[in-house]
Structure formats: structure tokens, C-alpha cells
Amino acid sequence: MEITIKHEDSLIIELAGRLDTNTSLELDERIKKEEIKENKVIMDFKDLEYISSAGLRLLLGLKKELGKENKELEIHNINEIVREVFQVTGFINILNIK
């Protein structure tokens, strides 16, 4: 799993590989280290192969954290399998997917 974090107008987190049990832990640690000043966090899933429930939990937790500070979470560039996972689990309803 490759994680690239860019501070632009928004905080951009680019993921490549799998977002599963182990990599979710890794990503969680990386995000906790970041000081999020931007009002919006964009997760770019362009190169993400798939996401498992561990990844879903991370997204939900992150969304809640950001919500407390009135910050937004956007998910960009999801592939077919990620969309399927979001649909099956209902995450499609709560995430801001672009």
C-alpha cells in the first residue's frame, strides 16, 4: 500500500494498492500524525484495488472525526469493486463520493 499525502487547498490522500486489515492500520497511523488544517480531506482512490471492511471502518471513523471540526471528507475516483463494496454496505449513502 502506497500512501501519498499532499497539503493543497484540501488535504489530499492518494492511496495505491489494497485497503484491508493491515493497510488500514498503517493508513490510520499516518492520518493521525497529520495536522489537518484544511477544511476538506479528499481521499483519491484512483489506484486503489479494493477496500475491505477494515477500510470502511477507517473511513467512517475519519468522517466522524472531521465532522466534529466541521470538516468535509470526499472520496474521489472509486473503481467498480469499491463502488460495489460501498453499495453492499450502504456506505454509498453516507460518503461524499465524487
Partner 1 sequence: MKFKIRTKIILLGASLSFILMLVAFILSFNIYRDRLKSDLNQSVQESLNNLKADFNDDLKNDLKAIKDIVQPIYDSDPDEPEFEDLQDRLNYYQNKYDAFYVKEGTLGMSYDKLNNKTRYLNISGMLSQMVINSDGKIAYITYKDEARNREIILVDFQYQLNNDVGTSSRILGSYFAARDEDNNESPISINYYKKLDIILDGNLIGTVYLEYDEHLVENNLEYFFKTEIIALGIAVVILVIVYAVLAHLTVVKNITKLHKATEQFTVSLQEGNIKKIEIDVKSKDELGELGKKISLMEDEMIDYTNRLALDAKEKMRINTELNLASQIQLATLPSPSFKIANLSLQALIKPAKAVGGDFYDYFYLDDDHLAFVISDVSGKGISAALFMMRAKELIRNKLLAKLSLKDACFEVNNNLLINNEAGLFITSFIGILNLKTLELKYVNAGHEKPYLIKNGVVKKLDCQANFVLGGLEDFEYQEEKIKLETNDRLFMFTDGLNEAINIEKEEFGYQRIEQILLENKDNDIEIVLKKLDNGLQEFTKDLDAFDDVTMVILELEKNNLKFSYHGPKLDVIDEIMEKVNSKYGFIDKKRLSEIGIILDEILNNAISYENVGNLQLNLSLEILDNNLKIILETDGKEFNPLENDDKYITGIDDELSVGGFGIKLVKNLSDDIKYERFNNHNILTIIKHL
- Among 54, 72, 74, 97, indicate the residue that binds partner 1 (CB under 8 A): 54
Please name the helix (run of DSSP H) or strand (run of DSSP E) that holds residue 27, with its range, or none. helix 21-33
Least distance (Å) between residue 95 CB and partner 1: 9
3-state secondary structure of 41: strand
- Among 4, 22, 39, 96, indicate the residue that binds partner 1 (CB under 8 A): 22
The order of strands in the sheet holding 2-7 is 2-7, 11-19, 40-51, 72-76, 96-97
Q: How many CA atoms lie within 13 A of 22 on its CB side?
A: 4
Q: Contact 38/11 with Cβ under 8 angstroms?
A: yes
Q: Is 90 in the site for partner 1 (CB under 8 A)?
A: yes
- Among 29, 34, 47, 81, indicate the residue that binds partner 1 (CB under 8 A): 81
Q: Is 3 in the site for partner 1 (CB under 8 A)?
A: no
Q: Is 60 in the site for partner 1 (CB under 8 A)?
A: yes
Provide the binding-site residues for partner 1, judged by CB under 8 A.
18, 20-22, 25, 49-54, 56-57, 60-61, 63-64, 67, 80-81, 85, 88-91, 93-94
